[in-house]
Amino acid sequence: MHRMIGANSWRPRPTVRRPSRSQPLPGDPGESRDNASSTKTFQPSPGSTPLARRRYIGGSSTKRHVIKKTDLPDDSFPASESFVDCCGKLRVFDLELLETGSGYFVRATEHVSGNDGYAFAAHAESDPWLALGRLRQTIQSGLATRYLVEEDHHPSLGHDVAVGHIAFGGVVVDGRYLSYDEFAVMLSAYEGWRFRISIVDAYGTI
């Protein structure tokens, strides 16, 4: 059965207009400088913190990542703090804050003269206050144990363990500087024993 199509039922097909090659498409090398002015930048809603921005050029988009940056702490960030060690002695520390591409580093150095004094450090990737909180925990843990005892006016290990940091020309244990010669004399009491040395960076955990 054939269906007859009358004259009134005929509709012309829509004409699709295609751009001529005389007008360069967006992104073509021949695009004019006037078309480049149509570049639009996406604006985030008020109050939001964009982690990425998107540029729209003639319908195509390219994505640019922006690292979120925390504002530096104001004057309320402490310059020094005090702690009490396991023997009841008050220890005062000077604080230093360093911002790098890897985050925030906080270092605490005991406020004493000479080579004596504890030193601690902590790190956080995004927040200086988080680094400070970790530093406080590290200091409290480091001050909770005493490793040295005095025997015949010479330092010795109280329970065969020593934790501290390496300084120029010696080591510091319990906030006390020991030259390498003094440290060697202290270890000579363990002649014939076995030992294990573990070294970590200033921001590591023992």
pLDDT at residue 23 tops 50: yes
pTM of the model: 0.62
CA dihedral (86, 88, 89, 90) in degrees, to 10, reads: 100
Mean pLDDT (the chain) is 76
**Tens-place pLDDT, residues 62-76:** 333 333 344 556 678
Angle at 107 between CA 103 and CA 112, to 5 degrees: 170
Tell the residue number behind the tokens 């504890």, with chain if given.
118
**Tens-place pLDDT, residues 89-114:** 999 999 999 998 889 999 999 999 89
pLDDT at residue 3 tops 70: no
Q: Which of 81, 104, 91 is nearest to 172 (CA)?
A: 91
